[in-house]
Amino acid sequence: MAAQDLSAAFIKEYQERFEKKIKENEIAVLEHWKAQLDKVVSSRPDSIASLQMQIKKTTDMMANRITLLKKE
């Protein structure tokens, strides 16, 4: 029974660390893309076309990153 309790405790601790790491990674990703969008907002584009180009550039960056991650 003690070995089973030890295994359960290990699994629980490992799961908590895994979930914490996932949360940290998600925060880092969101902070990165928020910074990218903040750049677009702060640039004060001259026209709608300029804004669209900046948004397109950001979405292209996201698409490239997704492609790289899928290759790994």
For 6-69, the DSSP string reads HHHHHHHHHHHHHHHHHHHHHHHHHHHHHHHHHHHHHT--SSHHHHHHHHHHHHHHHHHHHHHH
Span 5-62, pLDDT tens digits: 778 888 999 999 999 999 999 999 999 999 999 998 888 878 899 889 999 999 999 9
- In the chain, where are the structural domains located? 2-71
In the prediction, which pLDDT does 1 show? 57
